[in-house]
Structure 1
Amino acid sequence: MAARWTMLAGLLLLLPLLQSASSSSMVFKLDGNVYPAGHFYVTMNIADPSKPYFLSVDTGSDLTWLECAASNGACERCNKVPHPHYRPGPPSYKVVPCTDPLCDTLHQDLGTTKHCTEPFQCDYTLTYADGSSIGALMTDKFSLPMVKPPNDHPDLAIGCGYDQGVNAGKVTTVDGILGLGPSSVSLVSQLKNHKIITKNVIGHYLSTKGGGFLFFGEESVPSSDVTWVPMAPRTPGKPYPYSPGRATLQLDTKSIGAEPMEVVFDSGSAYTYLPELVHSQLVTALKASLSKSSVKEVHDPALPLCWKGNGPFKSLDDINKEFMSPISFNFGHGVTMTIPPEKYLITTEQGSACLGILGTADIDLYLIGAIAMQDQLVIYDNETRRLGWTHSLCDRMPET
C-alpha cells in the first residue's frame, strides 16, 4: 500500500527553473571502499534545515532516493542506516504528482507502467539484484558545493523509499542511492535543467585506499591522456544506463569466452559480474596461472574464491607479489581497459586474497563494478555521448 502525505494547496504546480547564472562544475569528496563497506558514497545535505545523508555513488541507476519514513513516522521494512531515516516535511518538501511529466520519465526509464493509485503522488518500484525499493517521488532542498555563483538550496526531485522489501532489516553503510544515469530524473540532469551546471558530465575517482572524489560539469575533465569510447545507445527499459559497447575478455593473452559481449559501467556495484559460463572459464584460467605459485585456495566468508600465501596478505602490495596476470576488456580499434590484480582482488580481515569478479546467471553482459574502476578517473560525458578513463589525475581532488 502506498504511503500518503498531506497536500497543501499549490503543491501540484511544477517547479520553475532556477533563474541564476550557470556554474560550470562542482566537486564532492567520497568516502567508503569496495571492502568491507561495499560502497563509495558522498555526503549530501538535504531538506531545510539540512540534514546529512550518505548516498552510494551509482552510475547504474537514474533515481536518487533515500530510505524514508512517511508522515506517520513509519518506514515499512527498512534497513538500519547511518542517519535517522529521511522524513519529508514542510516547508521544504513537495510531492511530485502522478500527472507530472517527471513521473512519466521515471517509469519509462524503469520500463514500468505508471499506476496512479494516489493521483497526487508518483509511486514507483525499483528492482535490484538483491531486492527492491517501493517509494514516492518528491522534491526537497539540496545544499550543494556551488562553484560560481552560489545557489544555496535548489529544489530537486528525489525518491522517498518507504518499503525495502522482504530483504530489509540489514545494517547498511549508506542512507540511499545517488542515481547518476543520463535520464531527466537523475540529479545531474536536473542540475543542468535548472541551469545550475552547464554540461551534463560526471566523473569519479575511486581509490584502492578508500575514498576518492566525484565531480559534475566539464571543467574537471582532463584535456589529454583520456581513453574515449562512444557511449552505446540506451534502449527503453534497459537497466544499465552506461555502456562503452562490446568487448572481448582476456586473462593475460588468453581469450576468455568465444564472442564479444556488451560491457556496462556500474559504480553502485562493489564487484564485477560476468555470466556464469564466462566466469567459470576465467576462474579455470586464473587457477592455471597460479599453478606454480605458493598460494593455496582457502575458505573465507567474504567472497566465494579466496587464496592465502605463505603468510597473510596484509595489503595490495602483497597481492602483486603472487598474482601477476592482468584481465583486459578489448573494445577493438586499439582500445583496451586493463584490470591489474589489485583491481580484481581484495584483501580480507582474515588475510586472504579474494576474487572480486563474480559469476551470475542473471546477466548476459560484462558488468564492470567499482572494484575494477579503482585508481583511475572514469568520465561519463552525456553531452557528446562518450565514456572515458584515465590515470592522469591520480589521487588529487580537482581544483575548483
Structure 2
Amino acid sequence: ITQMEPQVDDQRAHAVVIITLPPSDDPSQGKTISAFTLTDHHYPPETHPEDHPNPNFQPGPLHQNPDPGLWLSDLSTGSPRLVLSLIAISLLAIAFYASVFPNTVQMFRVYDERDRDDEANRRETSSFVFPVYHKLGARAIPDRKLAEVVDVVKSGILVESIDQELVNPVKVNDAFSAIAASFDSSTTILPVGGDVYPNGLYFTRILVGKHYFYLDIDTGSDLTWVQCDAPCRSCAKGANQLYTPRKGMLVRSAESLCVEVQKNQMTQHCEDCEQCDYEIEYADLSSSLGVLTKDEFHINLHNGSVADLDIVFGCGYDQQGLLLNTLVKTDGILGLSRAKISLPSQLASRGIISNVIGHCLPSDLNGEGYIIMGSDLVPSHGITWVPMLHHSHLEVYQMQVSKVSYGNGMLSSDGRVGKVLFDTGSSYTYFPNKAYSHLVKSLKEVSGLGLTLDESDKTLPICWRADFVISSLSDFKRFFRPITLQIGSKWWIISKKLVLQPEDHLIISKKGNVCLGILDGSSVHDGSTIILGDVSMRGHLIVYDNVKRRIGWMRSDCVRPRDSDFNVPFFQG
C-alpha cells in the first residue's frame, strides 16, 4: 500500500508504508509495517499491481489499526536529515551501552533464553531431591572450604574388594515411597538437615550398594567419596560402617573419569595402572587419599520408583587433618561442583537429569531442607538470576560482584569488580581483607546500642554480649544492618542484589552471645574472592543452572520445593 499525499494534483511521494498481510490460512502470523521517507523528488514513485489494497480484505474488530497517515503525515513533512540523525544517535547509544555494560547485556541474554524455553522442554528429564540432615558435634575453625585434587601417592597399595551382593532397594523406605508416589512426574523428594553452629555442616543420606551413608554436601568439591575399608589406613569412626568396594568395580587409570580427576595432579598419569588413585587436599590442609570405584546409587524418584545407577566415586582409605573431626558424624563428601566427576554431572551426562542443582539449607538446628538435582522443581518465578562466571581451573560456582555495602556504607570503596563463590563446604562466609576491615569498623556502632564485645568467647573472632536474655537471632536485628552484594552492573537500577539480613551473617554461641559469621578471607582461595558459606545461604533456595550458566536465589522456608504439594518426609539423623 503506497501512502500518497492527500493533494490529488501532487503526484510526488514523500513517504512509503509497506504493510505485509498475513496468509489467509494462518492469520496468527500478524502483519508487518515498514515506513520509508524519500529524498529524491525528481523521480515519481512507481506503482505495482500488488501495491493496491485488497478490496476483499476486512480486518476483524480486534485487529483494527489506526490510520497510519495520522502519524506518517508528520514524518513525511519533517526533514529526512532529522530522521536519519535520530536513527544514528540511537545506534550510537546502543553501541555505547553494550560496550560499557557488557555484563548487563549478558544478563538480558540469559533471561531471554530462559523465557524462550517452554514447560515441555523443562520436563524432558527427571529431577532428584536429596535430604540434608544435622548431626551433633561442632566443626573446628578453620572449616574445610574449597577442595582440589593435588597428587597421587604411589604407595604400591592395592585396594582389596569383595563380591558384594546388592540389596533390593524397593523396600528401602516405605514411608518415603508412599509420599513420593503421589507426585505426577518422576522427581524424588529427599530431605536435607544440619546447621552452621554447633554442627558446622549440612549432609544428606544416600543408599550406596546395600548400606546408607551420610555425606557432607559440598558445592566446592568435585569428587564424591566415602570412608572405605580397603583396608582403611586412617579413618574416623563415622556414622555408619566403612564402605567395602565390590569385586571388579575399581576404575582403571585409562578410563575417562580417572583422567579427569588426575589431570591437575603433579604426578604423571599412569595409563597401565590397575587402579585409579587420587589425593584431595582441602584449604585447611586436610586430605583424603583413595581410589576410584563404582557401585549402584539407589535414588528414589518422586513417582515411587527407584533408579539404580552405577556411579563413579572415591573409596577413601586415608583421611588426615581436621577432616577427621567432621567424619565422626558423617561418612564422606558429596561433590556437587561443575566437574565431570561430580554426581550431578554424571547423571546429566547420561541424560537422566538436566545439569541443574539447587539446595535449600534450614536456618536452625531443628530445621529441614533439601537438595534438588534436575530442573523440574526449580520455581518458574520469584528467583533472581545472574550469569555464572567461569573459573580458570576450578569447576566452582561464582558470580561477579560490583559493590558491597553494610547499610548505606560501602565496604568496597575502591570500586573494583570482584567475585562471589558459593561453597556449602564452608560453614562461614569470608570477605577479602579490605572489605572485612571496613565491616569490622562499621560494626563498632553496636557497642553503643546495648551490646558489649566479649573477648572470652572464642567461638568466633568477634562476639557480643547482650544485657538482655537472647532467645533467637531476631532479637538482634535492630542492632545490625543488612549487607548488600550488588551483582553485575555498577548502576543500581539495572543490577541485581543479594541482600544478607543480620540473621544471614550472625550466629548465637553456646554462651548465649551473638557472633559475626563473616571472617577475614585474606588467606582463603585467592584472597580477593568473597566465599559465601552456609551461614549466609541459610533460608535461601540457591540454584546452579549449568545448562544456561546462571545462578539464582530466593528466600524460602526450605520445608519443600515450591512446585510440590507435599511436605518432604525427613528421616531422623
Q: Normalization by structure 2: what TM-score?
A: 0.61
> In 1, distance between residues paired with 2:257 and 2:217?
22
Q: Does 1:95 align with 2:250?
A: yes
- 1:254 partnered with 2:254: no
- State how 1:1-400 maps to structure 2 within 5 Å: 1=155, 3-6=157-160, 25-47=187-209, 50-70=210-230, 73=231, 75-90=232-247, 94-108=249-263, 110=264, 113-116=267-270, 119-130=273-284, 131-147=286-302, 150-167=305-322, 169-170=324-325, 172-197=328-353, 199-209=354-364, 210-235=367-392, 237-238=393-394, 241-257=396-412, 258=414, 259-288=416-445, 290-298=446-454, 299-321=456-478, 323-331=479-487, 332=489, 333-362=494-523, 363-391=527-555, 395-397=559-561, 399=564
Query: What do the CA deviations read for 1:202-228 (whole angstroms, capped 9, x no partner)?
Result: 111112123311111111111111100
Offset, 1:394:
5.2
Question: Residue in 2 aligned with 1:12?
Answer: none
Task: Could you tell me which runs of 5 or more consecutive residues in structure 2 were left unpaired when the two chains were aligned.
Answer: 1-154, 164-184, 566-573
C-alpha RMSD of the superposition? 2.4
How far apart are the structure 1 equivalents of 2:522 and 2:272?
Answer: 37
SS in structure 2 at match of 1:268: coil
Q: Distance in 2 between matches of 1:263 and 1:335?
A: 13
Shift in alpha-carbon separation, 1:177–1:378, aligned structure 2, 3 A: same
Deviations 1:312-341 (A, max 9, x none): 4331122224x3311111113321100011
CA displacement at 1:150 relative to structure 2: 3.2
Distance 1:234 1:25, change over 3 A: farther
Secondary structure at 2:320's aligned position in 1? coil
CA displacement at 1:393 relative to structure 2: 6.4
How far apart are the structure 2 equivalents of 1:393 and 1:8?
44
Structure with the largest fraction of helix: 2
- C-alpha distance in structure 1 between counterparts of 2:510 and 2:382, whole Å: 36
What is the CA-CA distance between 1:397 and the residue it aligns to? 4.0
Show CA shifts across 1:72-95 (max 9, x none).
x3x2232332222222234xx711
Deviations 1:160-203 (A, max 9, x none): 11112244653633211111112211101111223332x11111
Letter in 1 for 2:196: V
User: Whole-Å Cα distance in 1 between the matches of residues 507 and 532 of structure 2?
Assistant: 15
Structure 1 unaligned blocks of 5 or more: 10-22
What SS does structure 2 have at the residue aligned with 1:45? Answer: strand
Residues of 2 paired with 1:202 and 1:397: CA distance?
A: 13
CA distance in 2, matches of 1:63, 1:224: 32
Deviations 1:271-310 (A, max 9, x none): 101223332221111223x143100111223211111111
- CA distance, structure 2, for counterparts of residue 66 and residue 8 of structure 1: 16
1:5 Cα deviation (Å)?
2.5
Return the structure number with greater strand share: 1
Q: Deviations over 1:96-139 (max 9, x none)?
A: 1111111111234x565553398011111111112111111111
Conserved? CA contact 2:377–2:561, under 8 Å: no
| C-alpha contact (below 8 Å) 2:363/2:539 kept by paired residues | yes
Q: Please give the alpha-carbon distance, in whole angstroms, between the structure 2 residues aligned to 1:208 and 1:167.
A: 24
- Compare relative contact order (CA 8 Å, sep 6+) and give the higher one, 1 or 2: 1
Specify the SS of the correspondent of 1:153: strand
Q: Is the 8 A contact 2:254 2:272 kept in 1?
A: no
Q: Report SS of the residue matched to 1:94.
A: coil
Post-superposition CA distance 1:218-249 (Å, at most 9, x none)? 111111111000111232x22x6101123321
Amino acid in structure 2 at the alignment position of 1:204: H
Do the aligned partners of residues 8 and 206 (structure 1) sit closer, same or farther apart at CA in structure 2, a change above 3 Å counting?
A: closer
SS in 2 for 1:190: helix
TM-aligned CA deviation for residue 361 of structure 1: 2.6
Identical counterparts, % of pairs = 34
Q: Distance in 1 between matches of 2:470 and 2:556?
A: 28
Distance across 2 between alignment mates of 1:167 and 1:369? 18
CA separation of 1:354 and 1:8: change in aligned 2, threshold 3 A: closer
Amino acid at match of 2:336: L
